[in-house]
Amino acid sequence: MTTATQRQPGGIASGREEAFAALAERLPAIVFDPGADRDGDRVEGAAAYLSHYGLDPEAAAPGTRHSLGVLRAGGYRIAAHCWLHPVPSGTAFVVHGYFDHVGLYGHLIRHLLGRRLHVVAFDLPGHGLSEGERVTIASFDHYVAVFEDLLDAAAGLPRPWHGVGQSTGGAIVLHHLLRAASHPFTGVALLAPLVHPRRWRLNRLIYLASHRWRRRIGRKFVINSGDPEFLDFIAHRDPLQARHIPLEWIGAMKRWAEELHTLPPSNRPATVIQGDADTTLDWRYNLRLLRQKLPSGKFHVLPGARHHLVNEIAPIRAQVFAALGF
């Protein structure tokens, strides 16, 4: 099994790439205990990583303490962050989207700290600083297992708990919500949750026609935000971005979408936030299905918002964060 920071040909070549790979290997254990966890900026190489991605908790809440380390979850060595607010009113758990990693979620993390919440965020297997074959998974169940093991590891953090998932992260939180006999969250927010991508039927045909003889296809960077600086950053300045899409991952997504149709509805409260300029998802279809699965849910459709809601332009981000409900 390779680490997530190992690169395929064609990736961004930079000194940061090698530095972040070395950081991933030297991360200490994290147990979500301020008495035991090491401050993030005291880990060799972490200060450069935090600076590159603008992850400065002090900007939102002076006195915030940050830890960065790894834990075993779902059978993987998972990189996780914990920001501890000096006067917390609860804890928020952030689950990122496909191709993403915690470094891209600074806007959301600062907002949640501004709401006096501890924040726990982690890199999915095959993403960011976590272990796993690059940006692929055999089953979305593995993502859910990682998420649930992390929740168990963080059991000592203060309640109430809230869960936030963007895109694939939303699918993971939704999967947990619909299948678990009980769950620990008072509030759940699904941001442009992945169900069916745009051109779903075509994508399925491509997968069925090629997955037996082809392992991956090239990634095209699309306009998934109205923020040109963010788009330039992920395409040209983020050494943790992958340049390909494994067909194995598309197969896992296909099976996830098929399973979702079979899961019973849940009356647990949840908020779904979706942009009407999202060209990544078949969002109209997705909302119809999600309204069936979450009959007690609150649904917000934001005019002009694209897919990557946590990295939209500031006025749209403000609407997203206001709609979270916590």
| Residue 6 belongs to a domain | no
| Residue 171 belongs to a domain | yes
**Token pair listed for 21:** 């790979």
pLDDT band at 213 (very low <50, low <70, confident <90, very high): low
Q: What does the alpha-carbon distance between residue 188 and residue 270 come to, in Å, rounded to a whole number?
A: 5
pTM of the entire predicted model: 0.94
Q: What does the alpha-carbon distance between residue 126 and residue 133 come to, in Å, rounded to a whole number?
A: 5
| Residue 78 belongs to a domain | yes
pLDDT higher than threshold 60 for residue 11: no
pLDDT band at 203 (very low <50, low <70, confident <90, very high): low
- Residue 106's closest CA among 317, 281, 274? 317
Q: Tell me the residue length of the chain.
A: 326
The CATH number linked to 111 is 3.40.50.1820
Of 96-100, 136-140, 168-172, 201-205, the poorest mean pLDDT is in 201-205
pLDDT band at 183 (very low <50, low <70, confident <90, very high): confident
Model pLDDT, residue 242: 97
When divided into structural domains, the chain yields a total of 1
Which residues form the domain of 260? 15-323
Q: How many C-beta atoms surround the C-beta of residue 320 within 10 A?
A: 23
| Residue 9 belongs to a domain | no
| Residue 8 belongs to a domain | no
Model pLDDT, residue 1: 32
pLDDT higher than threshold 70 for residue 89: yes
| Residue 49 belongs to a domain | yes
For residue 282, give Cα distances in angstroms to 49, 168, 196.
35, 14, 6
Mean pLDDT for 59-81 is 94
Of 119-128, 216-225, 276-285, the poorest mean pLDDT is in 216-225
Q: What does the alpha-carbon distance between residue 170 and residue 141 come to, in Å, rounded to a whole number?
A: 14
Q: What does the alpha-carbon distance between residue 193 and residue 170 come to, in Å, rounded to a whole number?
A: 4
Model pLDDT, residue 216: 82
Q: Over the stretch 294-305, which tens digit does the pLDDT of each residue have?
A: 999 999 999 999
pLDDT higher than threshold 60 for residue 60: yes
